[in-house]
Amino acid sequence: MALPVVRPDWLTQEVMHGPLQNEQHVFLSTKPASRADGRNALAALLVSAVIFLAAAPFAGTLLVQVPAFAPTYMSVLVICELLTSVLLYGQFRFLRSRALLVLAGGYLFTACITVAQALVFPGLFSPSGLLDAGTQSAAWLFVFGHGGFPAAVIAYARLEDHGLVAIASGGRPRAYTRFAIPYSIAAILAIVCALTLLVTAGQEFLPVIIQGNRIAVIGRIVRSSAWVLTALALYLLWRRWPRTVIDLWLMVVMCVWLMDITLAGLLNTGRFDLGWYAARVYDVLAASTLLIVLLIENGKHYARLAQLSAELRAANVALEQLSMHDGLTGLANRRCFDKYIASQIAVARRYERPLALVMCDVDAFKAYNDHYGHQAGDECLKQVAAALRSRCRRPADMAARYGGEEFVLVLPDTDLGGAAQIAEAARDAIWQLRIVHAHSPAAPYLSISGGVAVLLRNVDMTAQQLIADADRSLYQAKQLGRNRMVCAQAEPAYQHA
């Protein structure tokens, strides 16, 4: 069995320069924003801006009330924000960054506040909304939602353990993440419940910000505060450095929110006009922007993991090959030989087949090394190995380097006579190389001596005993003058079933 030579150079390069080198940048929150990321974000922002500029002059134009629009957009909004929150919580579990925890909570807050808004929205589940809602309940929840999320982004931007800092410092203790997520979710649900209670049971304490379907003056002032918070969040994100991919896309989200609030709180006149409908579309865009980027990045990471898994499997195969090869000659090494001879003895015993072993040794190799140098000696061993490999004609035959200048041939399903012929052919192949060896006591050219042994049928013979028999025959060949093959005493021929 001739094994191919495997060089480890490529394996070292893959480990040093492959995907494992960049494991610290596998998350958007830790990956530095590249120029390509900047171009993509700018393109998305420009498209949103063009739509905004086209819609702004007609924001107050009253349109037909579409009953299915509100529940549809709210459902999409909740799904997008919940998915984004889950993905961000997942990154927090690994990085243990308070900034990510706050941002994930911000998305969860907007999802929950949208659910509450759907429950109290007039005409959605009941003419005046559920939970004893009043005419101001849904409008105030809209304000709270559009003010709460920018506040979360501001907190995210102000916290220091973000992005590259989080991965460099290792984040907070791992036990912290076990309690932080459930506490965060519980706190957000409590805040949303409190705000919902305020806009329903305590609605008389709140100013009137919408009259019928039209926005009151105080409503525009209140919504302007959400616009200011969003602008502040955008400014803080812009100042943040080093800027990660998630920072870049959050800036896009904040820009879309500014357009959203401008259309639905500053330029339009009330519900169901063009500005109101367009603002709801911007709500969905803002909620889905980061989600889309996260999902695309997750897909890329999955592809990288699949590629890395394939590379690791190939590396394992290569390492296994390396562990079974002699680095100089490319033949099977001693470890591989020991495993192979043991398995072949088991097969020979099970199926009552012959098994032969040829052990050979380069004659006067020390003298060759001393006279011609070690580099010439290495080249000599390579040529000997190639010649011995050429004698292994069947797939099951194996040539191996036993150690130093010693080699072995494992010949399954071969009796003593057949093994002797192969051994003599191997000796002749070495002789035909005509490698000059002026200091050999056996011949003017490089030669080998060998011993042939077979597995005895009627004896519980181990691999060590078979090797010992071949070694004794090799010793006899040396004693008889070298450059020859000596066979152990033959046993009766095998009877094939």
Residues labelled as active-site residues: 405
Nearest to 99 by CA among 239, 298, 246: 246
Cis peptide before 127 (omega within 30 of 0): no
Cα torsion 276, 277, 278, 280: sign: positive
27, 95 Cβ separation under 8 angstroms: yes
Would you state the torsion angle of the CA atoms of residues 27, 33, 37, 38, taken in this order, to the nearest 10 degrees? 150
In 10 A of CB 429, how many CB atoms?
Answer: 18
Q: How far apart (Å, rounded) are the C-alpha atoms in residues 334 and 88? A: 53
Residue appearing with tokens 């000659």: 329
Q: How far apart (Å, rounded) are the C-alpha atoms in residues 457 and 8? A: 42
Nearest to 411 by CA among 456, 358, 462, 458: 358
Strands 214-215, 210-211: pairing kind: antiparallel
In 10 A of CB 346, how many CB atoms?
Answer: 11
Q: How far apart (Å, rounded) are the C-alpha atoms in residues 469 and 12? A: 42
SS3 of 214, please? strand
Query: C-alpha 385: how far from its chain's center?
Result: 41
Q: How far apart (Å, rounded) are the C-alpha atoms in residues 318 and 279? A: 58
